[in-house]
């Protein structure tokens, strides 16, 4: 009998059912009393208390946006005030999330470059360029802002990628550098000999991850030359449907000391 009900009606009924006042999605403005379960339940992610990964209530029932995408938007809008201070910024967005990217694209920043490392069998929006994060084809000091949300945990040479991101930032510019991170591990766990997707799920929690960052993630960013600000705005903007445990890692490229 259930199969006779059209999907559109099921969807509308679902949206009515979850409607509420606790959360409002900043992308589609749907207000809900709860969030959709997302992610997969893998023991290693629970054991290591990985924030930003694993099964959790973090999806918008209407547009499908994730908690981590809304967190970056909350920071850009509410803290950086990126939409209040003109559109003069140059932005590089690595592996752009759909909803966030749409808003940034439509705002008309001076430069808004989206890129990804194209994988066979996938299609990408036409404004996304095929770029390897280890070799970004832009000169030094090009961007005011880099957004790199849940990318580095896929990259074996992550510190080379960090240095490359820093290279293309202008002095005084900032990079948003989010990764899944273990709350209870001081040290990052990585093992490049684990290559089978199924094995990676067991060991790292996802088929294309090659490490689980520990609390020393900040040290890696600092060793790559960033001045790191680790901040939590998730509790302040919890109505966006954010994970209260998820911190932001903002890497600043400092101005030369003579200008500070």
- Residues in contact with Zn ion by CB under 5 A are 25, 27-28, 30, 60, 62-63, 65
Non-local (6+) Cβ contacts of 55 within 8 A are 37, 38, 39, 40, 41, 45
Q: Which is nearer to Zn ion, 65 or 182 (CB)?
A: 65
Any idea which residue has 């030369």 for tokens? 256
Q: Based on CB atoms, which residue is closest to Zn ion, 62 or 211? A: 62
Q: CB count, 10 Å around CB of 158?
A: 24
Residues contacting 6, CB < 8 A, separation 6+: none
DSSP string, 207-226: TT--EEB-TTHHHHHHHTTP
* β-sheet bridge partners, residue 231: 248
CB of 213 to Zn ion, least distance (A): 28
Would you say 61 or 217 has its CB closer to Zn ion?
61
Nearest residue (CB) to Zn ion, 25 versus 91: 25
CB of 61 to Zn ion, least distance (A): 8
Q: In the block, which residue shows the tokens 């199924």?
A: 198
Report, in Å, the least distance between residue 247 CB and Zn ion.
23
We find the least distance from the C-beta atom of residue 116 to Zn ion, in angstroms, to be 22
């Amino acid at each position: 009998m259930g199969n006779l009900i059209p999907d559109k009606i099921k969807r509308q009924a679902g949206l009515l059912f979850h409607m509420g006042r606790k959360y409002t999605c900043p992308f589609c403005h749907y207000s809900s009393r709860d969030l959709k379960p997302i992610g997969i339940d893998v023991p290693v992610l629970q054991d290591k208390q990985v924030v930003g990964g694993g099964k959790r209530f973090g999806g918008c029932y209407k547009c499908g946006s994730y908690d981590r995408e809304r967190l970056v938007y909350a920071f850009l809008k509410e803290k950086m005030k990126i939409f209040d201070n003109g559109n003069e910024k140059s932005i590089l967005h690595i592996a752009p999330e759909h909803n966030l990217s749409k808003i940034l694209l439509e705002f008309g920043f001076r430069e808004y470059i989206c890129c990804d490392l194209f994988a066979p069998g996938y299609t990408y929006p036409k404004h996304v360029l095929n770029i390897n994060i280890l070799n970004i084809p832009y000169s030094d000091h090009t961007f005011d802002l880099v957004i790199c949300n849940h990318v580095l945990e896929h990259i074996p040479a992550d510190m080379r990628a960090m240095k490359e991101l820093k290279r293309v930032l202008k002095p005084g510019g900032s990079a948003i550098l989010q990764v899944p991170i273990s709350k209870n591990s001081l040290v990052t766990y990585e093992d490049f000999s684990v290559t089978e997707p199924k094995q990676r799920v067991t060991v790292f929690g996802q088929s294309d991850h090659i490490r689980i960052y520990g609390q020393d993630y900040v040290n890696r960013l600092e060793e790559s030359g960033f001045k790191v600000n680790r901040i939590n705005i998730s509790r302040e903007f919890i109505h966006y449907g954010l994970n209260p445990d998820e911190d932001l890692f903002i890497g600043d490229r400092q101005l030369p000391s003579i200008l500070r």
